[in-house]
Amino acid sequence: MGMWIETIGWISTALVLIGFVLNSTQRLVPAITAWIIGDIGWIIYDIFINNYSHMFLSFIIIAINIYGIYNVSKHRIPQKD
């Protein structure tokens, strides 16, 4: 099981880094999506290694990102064709 958990940790790290790259290119919703998926992976990882403080942080980050998606969708101006 150790290699499986280690893989989840690395995939989660990659997703969070991809989120930062997407955010730097002003692609906010894909960035937030990558962050949420990455943080879900971190929560799974943290449960297996008993890292509850980081797990709590990941839950908070997910909540903030969901709020960010809500704000982006609320303020999005419809495009005219």
pLDDT tens figures, 20-69: 999 999 898 899 999 999 999 999 999 999 999 999 999 999 999 999 88
pLDDT of residue 29: 85
pLDDT of residue 69: 85
Q: What predicted TM-score, i.e. pTM, was given to this entire model?
A: 0.82
Of 8, 20, 11, nearest in space to 51 by CA: 8
Asked whether the predicted pLDDT for residue 79 surpasses 60, the reply is no
CB–CB of 45/12 below 8 Å? Answer: yes
Name the residue with higher pLDDT: 80 or 53.
Answer: 53
Which residue has 């990941």 as its token pair? 58
- The domain segmentation of the chain, as residue ranges, is 2-75
Name the residue with higher pLDDT: 81 or 77.
Answer: 77
